[in-house]
Amino acid sequence: MSRQSKIGFWAAVLMNINIIVGAGILAMTQSMAATAGAASFLAWPMIGLLVFPVVWCIAQASRVFPGEGGIYNYCAKGINPTAGFVAQWAYLLGYMGTATTLTLVLKDALVHKAGLTIVGEYSMLFNTAVIVVFTLLNMLDVSKISKIQSGLTLLKLLPLVVAIGLLPFFFSANVSYAPVDFGLIAMTLPSAIFALWGFEACVSISHLLKDGAQSVGRVVLMAFALVIVLYTLFHFSLIHIMGAKQLATHGAALFPQFLGFDANIVNALGLGILGAIIISYMNSIFGVTLGNMSNLYTLAKNKLITCSSALTTTNKQDRPVTAGIAVAVVGWAMLYFIDKLSISVAITNVGVSTAFVLTLVALFLHFWKKRNMLQLAVTLLGFASCAMIIYYSWMDISPDATERLLYASPLAVGLVIGLVMNSVATCKKKTK
């Protein structure tokens, strides 16, 4: 591939920002404000500092373990192929949890923000419709999918841009920060980290960047830093426009109602913002299901799981039909058993964090051989960050330990099924 046809630094940064920014920031500010009040906006820089060692290590992994394949490649080279598979499978399961979360958030927005109570009355029918619609959309030609995704990108940024633009007009020095709220910021961690997943997206396309693996670290770190600033300003703006209590009660989607404009302007702006947010949720579900289908298809194509011949079946548009159906069935099952937002968020956080922990193990082993003490220290900080993410996500599921185990069972069952499928595929390879 010629240098001219590859992706430049800032284009890659914008691409990464586009992947990170989505429904998470629009959905999670409400629960964060409910937990930590006016101080909740500080969760973004705090989580930025907490996750920085992980972001740094993931960025370094593309340099240490060059080649295509992302997380699988890092763990397969740094540990062994089985570890590579477990990391990639846990990553896939985590993002299956993301699809569940986004569907629940979309349903809540339609019922409580748009007033479509019929959606709540026929919940499973709605879930089925969402899964079927986005599965069919992902069967279209990839160029059409790209056009749809690109067209919806500006809409998802509209609420953030409007709210931040209004901050100078609504800033108030009288916003009250209760001392107790600062101590509760840590409890917002599961919601905040959910809204930041995707920072690692660039690692899988390092071969497409003009400077290759050497620029991946700079792209990931720059995109992550800019998103932290964007999220902090947006959340801070909502606190000043709505107040913490109103944000916790009504959510980000209804902030136009607190602008004090003429009723007709408020209604028009509110309808536009609400529409943009709902479309953003839908666009995020679209993108996540596309990624899940592609990840499952790639695992099957590389013969890392059994039934690979069936899962690699494609339609006339070269889209993975069977893999899409499999993802749809699993997604429907998760929505059937999981109806609580904190549970689906926890599954995402634990699944993705597991993939990162294994990547950190691969890096630790590499730096240990090189006796690179500075990188070893950063990697250890990365382990501590992942441990905190997993702990707070685990505790956020339920106050009861038995319930936590029950609700986490889909992730555990999924990992076992994946290992069995991988073992069968490995045995078939050896017998040939």
Q: How high does pLDDT run on average in the chain?
A: 87
| Percentage of the chain lying above the pLDDT 90 cut | 39
Tokens encoding 249: 């009660």
Contact (Cβ atoms closer than 8 angstroms) between residue 378 and residue 57: yes
pLDDT at position 202: 64
Which DSSP helix (H) or strand (E) runs through 285? helix 263-301
pLDDT at position 85: 94
Contact (Cβ atoms closer than 8 angstroms) between residue 224 and residue 72: no
Residue 377 has pLDDT above 70, yes or no: yes
- The mean pLDDT of 191-200, rounded to a whole number, is 84
Domains and CATH numbers, the chain: 3-427 (1.20.1740.10)
Q: How many other CB atoms sit within 10 Å of the CB of residue 154?
A: 10
- CA-CA-CA-CA dihedral for 45, 48, 50, 55, to nearest 10: -170
| DSSP-derived 3-state class of residue 211 | coil
Residue 2 has pLDDT above 50, yes or no: no
Q: Output DSSP code: residue 314.
A: B
Residue 64 has pLDDT above 70, yes or no: yes
What pLDDT band is residue 4 in, cutting at 50, 70 and 90? very low
pLDDT at position 246: 94
320 beta partners = 314
pLDDT at position 206: 60
pLDDT at position 432: 64
- Cα separation, 388 vs 404, whole angstroms: 17
- The mean pLDDT of 377-382, rounded to a whole number, is 94
* Residue at 328: amino acid letter: A
- The mean pLDDT of 384-392, rounded to a whole number, is 92
- Cα separation, 130 vs 128, whole angstroms: 5
Q: Output DSSP code: residue 206.
A: G
pLDDT at position 15: 73
* Residue at 161: amino acid letter: V
- Cα separation, 183 vs 410, whole angstroms: 32
Query: Number of C-alpha atoms within 13 angstroms, CB side, residue 405?
Result: 2
Tokens encoding 13: 């940064």
pLDDT at position 383: 95
Residue 408 has pLDDT above 60, yes or no: yes
The predicted-structure confidence for 21-52, as pLDDT tens digits, reads as follows 877 888 889 999 999 999 999 999 998 998 89
The predicted-structure confidence for 141-195, as pLDDT tens digits, reads as follows 877 776 776 667 777 788 899 999 999 999 988 888 888 888 889 889 888 888 8
